[in-house]
Amino acid sequence: MLTEGLELPVEPGRIYAGQTGATKWPSGNTGKATLRSRIGSQHVRGRIRGSTFRLTLASSLHRSLGLVPLGPRRLGDDSERLLTEWIMSHLDLAVHPYADPDPLADLEHQVLLRLDPPLNLDGMPRTPVRLRLAERRAVLAAGVPQSESEPTTCANSGS
């Protein structure tokens, strides 16, 4: 469904990786979210407004799931419920706790570069999938129904 939604191949397997709780520099503060709260209440059962992961999935699946934007970074309750149901039935989760928050942000960056999950955008190499996803996320973040937006710039790409 991700391949269909993005009109570019998204291989089965690990599609996204992230962390929570890293030390923020230069303040030295750490976030309050736990893996349980971040994943459970924001990514799985949250709203696209509070989760870039949900925004990413909604941007990829809006046509196939019939998601309806209500405004900038907002979906209707039925659309959020459909997205949650899709996540619960199509995705698996792996958690790898890491005790020291100080190097966690750098460790995340190193892991992302090595694993190269296609739905991670920040700090990652530009690929046709990431470029298309960035375009679609920008449209959904602006609250424009994707059927009314301009065609994507790489829609006819042979990649």
| Model confidence pLDDT, tens digit, residues 93-132 | 888 888 899 999 999 999 999 999 999 999 999 999 999 9
Q: Nearest Cα to 116, choosing from 127, 106, 105?
A: 127
Tell me, yes or no, whether 53 lies in a domain: yes
Q: How many domains does the chain have?
A: 1
Tell me, yes or no, whether 155 lies in a domain: no
How many C-beta atoms lie closer than 10 Å to residue 141's C-beta? 18
Structural domain range at position 29: 2-148
Phi-psi domain of 7 (left: phi exceeds 0; alpha: psi -120 through 50; beta: other): left
pLDDT at 157 over 50: no
Tell me, yes or no, whether 37 lies in a domain: yes
Tell me, yes or no, whether 159 lies in a domain: no
